[in-house]
């Protein structure tokens, strides 16, 4: 296990998890602000428990799968997932779609919970707990996929998990200190970077799964990442030009 192999895996898992953890934290914070920390904590723990169960179930299922098939399946999923993120981040960079705003997401979630309180139709603590659980579960699923995707192909699940855990711990610590949505995290920049890395991993794993021996082995990832970065920036530049032409 060399640093050149492990570093891209850890950084991809860390950065992707950072984005997802910030989004989940915003919703959990909205729940805690309106309904107290108890339902927020119970929902969060519930979501984490379901995620842990998913990982424990998936691990043994993936073990007997031949490496080439695993690389091919994961590579294709990574390509679709990574290029989806990169496409969205490019459109946001070009100003075609608005940037994700944690303050706005917090306000929307708070308003929704407030509306439910006014209607008094359901047990509010229950609704708040389920809201927190859903947030952790839905954002966490992406983290689980990314960890498995970047780690499973080469038996690097542990470093990938550590990268993801470090990101979640960082968000938790900063969130506990500032006690407000982490709106200053440059989310689109992170999504752009992660989209580049995941797309590069996607091409790499898919190729290996198809029996293609990339020249330079792991170093080919650097070339792929550079090309996806250039493609994302070119796409954003073209999109900006299209928007500008319409304004004129």
Per CB under 8 A, residues contacting other proteins are 76-77, 79-81, 83-88, 90-91, 94, 96-97, 130, 133-134, 137-138, 141-142, 145, 199, 202-203, 206-207, 210-215, 224, 227-228, 231-232, 234-236, 238-240, 242-243, 245-246
Give whichever of 177 and 213 is closer to other proteins, judged by the CB atom.
Answer: 213
Give whichever of 14 and 145 is closer to other proteins, judged by the CB atom.
Answer: 145
CA distance 234 to 114: 43
Minimum CB–partner distance for residue 122 and other proteins (Å):
12
Give whichever of 4 and 234 is closer to other proteins, judged by the CB atom.
Answer: 234
Minimum CB–partner distance for residue 138 and other proteins (Å):
5
**How many Cα atoms occupy the beta-carbon half-sphere of 161 within 13 Å?**
10
Give whichever of 133 and 156 is closer to other proteins, judged by the CB atom.
Answer: 133
Backbone angles phi, psi at 74, to 5 degrees: -65, -40
- Is 58 within 8 Å of 74 (Cβ atoms)? no
- Is 26 within 8 Å of 172 (Cβ atoms)? no
Minimum CB–partner distance for residue 43 and other proteins (Å):
11
The DSSP secondary structure of 169-212, one letter per residue, reads: HHHHHHHHHH-S--TTS-HHHHHHHHHHHHHHHHHHHHHHHTT-
Minimum CB–partner distance for residue 177 and other proteins (Å):
29
CA distance 134 to 165: 19
226 CB-near residues (< 8 Å, 6+ apart)? none
Minimum CB–partner distance for residue 206 and other proteins (Å):
6
Give whichever of 4 and 226 is closer to other proteins, judged by the CB atom.
Answer: 226
């Amino acid at each position: 296990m060399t640093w050149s192999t492990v570093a891209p895996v850890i950084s991809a898992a860390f950065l992707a998890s950072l984005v997802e953890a910030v989004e989940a934290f915003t919703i959990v914070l909205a729940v805690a602000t309106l309904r107290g920390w108890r339902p927020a904590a119970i929902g969060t723990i519930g979501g984490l428990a379901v995620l842990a169960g998913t990982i424990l179930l998936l691990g043994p299922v993936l073990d007997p799968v031949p490496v080439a098939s695993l690389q091919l399946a994961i590579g294709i999923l990574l390509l679709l997932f990574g290029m989806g993120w990169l496409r969205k981040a490019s459109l946001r960079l070009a100003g075609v779609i608005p940037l994700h705003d944690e303050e706005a997401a917090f306000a929307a979630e708070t308003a929704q919970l407030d509306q439910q309180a006014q209607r008094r139709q359901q047990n509010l603590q229950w609704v708040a707990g389920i809201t927190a659980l859903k947030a952790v579960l839905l954002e966490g699923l992406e983290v689980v996929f990314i960890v498995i995707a970047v780690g499973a192909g080469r038996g690097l699940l542990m470093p990938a998990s550590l990268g993801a855990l470090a990101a979640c711990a960082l968000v938790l610590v900063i969130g506990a200190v500032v006690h407000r949505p982490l709106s200053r995290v440059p989310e689109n920049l992170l999504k752009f970077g992660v989209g580049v890395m995941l797309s590069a991993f996607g091409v790499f794993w898919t190729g290996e799964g198809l029996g293609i021996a990339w020249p330079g082995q792991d170093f080919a990832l650097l070339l792929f990442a550079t090309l996806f970065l250039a493609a994302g920036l070119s796409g954003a530049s073209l999109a900006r030009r299209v928007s500008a032409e319409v304004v004129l």
